[in-house]
């Protein structure tokens, strides 16, 4: 697997499943994809209704979205480079698979703090977007 593909796979997995702390009225510990989803909801309300509070919350959400996306991009790039240099092909694939499967596996438990959810304060990946 090329370093580029390794990075893309790790980056996508991290966006989908790596818990990151963010604040959108409540502090959550959830994947960046959820932050993006919630920010989209706030953006839709802002477009429809305007309002300074909604605008402020949207700004807070977008800033965090960019920061976390950037940090995860850098982090996964770093991991991809390390894997590329230190491992054989077989070991690299095994490590990448372990990382991806490990993260996705863990995300199936109630890994995330999601107080903004209407149904559960702690969620798994399967319930993040209910």
Name the residues that contact another protein, by CB under 8 A: 23-26, 38, 41-42, 44-45, 47-54, 57, 113, 115-122
Q: Name the H helices within the chain.
A: 3-17, 32-49, 52-86, 89-107
Shortest Å, Cβ 82 to another protein: 32
Whichever of 47 and 101 has its CB closer to another protein, that residue is 47
Shortest Å, Cβ 108 to another protein: 17
Q: Which two tokens stand for residue 106?
A: 């863990």
Whichever of 24 and 33 has its CB closer to another protein, that residue is 24
Shortest Å, Cβ 118 to another protein: 5
Q: Which two tokens stand for residue 18?
A: 């790596």
Whichever of 11 and 112 has its CB closer to another protein, that residue is 112
Shortest Å, Cβ 51 to another protein: 5
Whichever of 60 and 75 has its CB closer to another protein, that residue is 60
What sign for the dihedral angle of Cα 32, 36, 37, 41?
positive
1 burial level (CB within 10 Å; 0-12, 13-18, 19+): middle
SS3 24: coil
């Amino acid at each position: 697997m090329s370093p580029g593909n390794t990075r893309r796979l790790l980056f996508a997995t991290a966006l989908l499943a790596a818990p990151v702390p963010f604040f959108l009225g409540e502090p959550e510990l959830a994947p960046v994809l959820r932050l993006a989803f919630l920010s989209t909801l706030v953006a839709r309300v802002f477009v429809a209704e305007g309002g300074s509070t909604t605008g402020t919350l949207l700004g807070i959400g977008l800033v965090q979205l960019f920061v976390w996306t950037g940090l995860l991009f850098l982090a996964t790039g770093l991991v991809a480079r390390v894997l590329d240099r230190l491992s054989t092909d077989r070991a690299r694939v095994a490590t990448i698979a372990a990382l991806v499967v490990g993260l996705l596996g863990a995300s199936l438990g109630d890994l995330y703090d999601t107080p903004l959810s209407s149904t559960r304060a702690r969620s798994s990946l399967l319930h993040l977007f209910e």
